[in-house]
Copies of this chain bind each other. A is one copy, B any other.
C-alpha cells in the first residue's frame, strides 16, 4: 500500500473515481487519460502520473480498464474500511450531510445525529436518529465512534467541542467557521468553506 498520498492526489483520485462510476453506469469498458483530463480540465500528464502512482499501467491505445482502475482507487483510499461518525448539529448542514449521496460507498457510515433542540430529538434523517447531545458519551462508547462531524453554529462550536473531547471523540471534521482549541492528541480537520471559496476567487480574477 502507498504511504502518505498527498491531499491533492487524494482529491483528484476521488474525482477520477466519480468519472469511472459514471462510465460504468454507461457500460463503457475503457477510459483514456486524456478523457479524464478533459473532463476535469487538468493536464493529461498529471492524470497519468496519479494513476502510475497506483502501480497501474493502461493498455496502449485503449487506455485503462474502467472497473480495474475503479477498484484500485477504492483499495488505495480504503473505501472498504468502515469509518463510523456522528454528526453534531441537526441543522440544515447536518441534515444535508446525513442525506449526502452515497457516503456509504466510501466506507463512511453516519451512525447518528445529535442536537440539543427538543423538537429535533427522535426524528430520523435518512434512517439515522437524532439524539440529545447528553447521550453522546454513552453512544460514543457503545458504538466505538471516534469521528465527529461538527456543524453547530460558530458561537457554540468551542463549548460543544470541549464536550466532544470529554466524551471520547478523537477526530473532528469541523464545518463551523471557527478555529477550535483542542488538546494535541485530538485531530481536527477544518472544512474551511471560506478558504475553499477564496482559493477559487483569489487566483482566478473572479
Contact = CB atoms under 8 A, between A and B. Distances in A.
Interface of A: 4-5, 7, 10-15, 18-19, 22, 39-41, 76-78, 81, 83, 91-93, 95-97, 99-103, 106, 108, 146-147, 151, 153-154, 171, 173, 176-179, 181, 184, 187-204, 206
B83 A92 contact: no
A196 B14 CA distance: 9
Nearest to A108: B197
Given A18-B179, A92-B93, A192-B15, A101 B171 contact: no
B197 A19 contact: no
Given A39-B179, A76-B202, A100-B193, 18 more contacts: A12-B195, A14-B198, A92-B93, A92-B99, A93-B93, A100-B177, A101-B153, A102-B177, A103-B194, A108-B194, A108-B197, A146-B206, A171-B204, A173-B197, A173-B200, A189-B199, A191-B193, A191-B196
A177 B101 contact: yes
A177 B10 CA distance: 15
A57 B33 CA distance: 45
A11 to B, nearest CB: 4
A200 to B, nearest CB: 4
B96 A92 contact: yes
Contacts of A4: 203
B194 A7 contact: no
Contacts of A193: 97, 100, 191
Given A15-B192, A204-B171, A10 B199 contact: yes
Nearest to A99: B92
